[in-house]
Amino acid sequence: QVQLVESGGGSVQAGGSLRLSCAASGYTYNRNCMAWFRQAPGKEREGVARIATGSGNTYYADSVKGRFTISQDNAKNTLYLQMNGLKPEDTAVYYCAARTDTLCYNSAAYYRYWGQGTQVTVS
């Protein structure tokens, strides 16, 4: 059974930093795609960043390019999202997601496995 468990959310002032973690289990980590999505109140879930775990290729939403970095630790089966220069508009629940395919689509509909989400609040 695949499980994704996020951690690292919290409250921070604008300009600050946070690092989110997503521990994966029951999942073949190194030949798939993992991603971070976020959802603000009243808004649709949107893709933030994704990584092809085999090649290491990364993709970012325009709104976070240059500020956020997605990375992975294959030995620990853990995905990270380093968020710097946070803005109030980054406030949302952040979700880790995974799909058992190397194609890293940006739509949430393509991801089968989801974590429970972690709140990020920027004031």
Tell me how far apart the alpha carbons of residues 4 and 41 are, in angstroms, rounded to a whole number.
22
Q: What are the residues facing 27 on neighbouring strands?
A: none
Instruction: Give the whole-number percent of the chain exceeding pLDDT 90.
Output: 82
Write down the pLDDT at residue 6. 95
Q: What is the pLDDT of residues 13-59, one digit of tens each?
A: 999 999 999 999 887 666 689 999 999 999 999 999 999 988 899 99
Q: Which three-class secondary structure state does DSSP give residue 89?
A: helix
Q: Is the pLDDT of residue 77 over 70?
A: yes
Strands 118-122 and 10-12: parallel
Tell me how far apart the alpha carbons of residues 4 and 90 are, in angstroms, rounded to a whole number.
22
Tell me how far apart the alpha carbons of residues 20 and 2 are, in angstroms, rounded to a whole number.
19
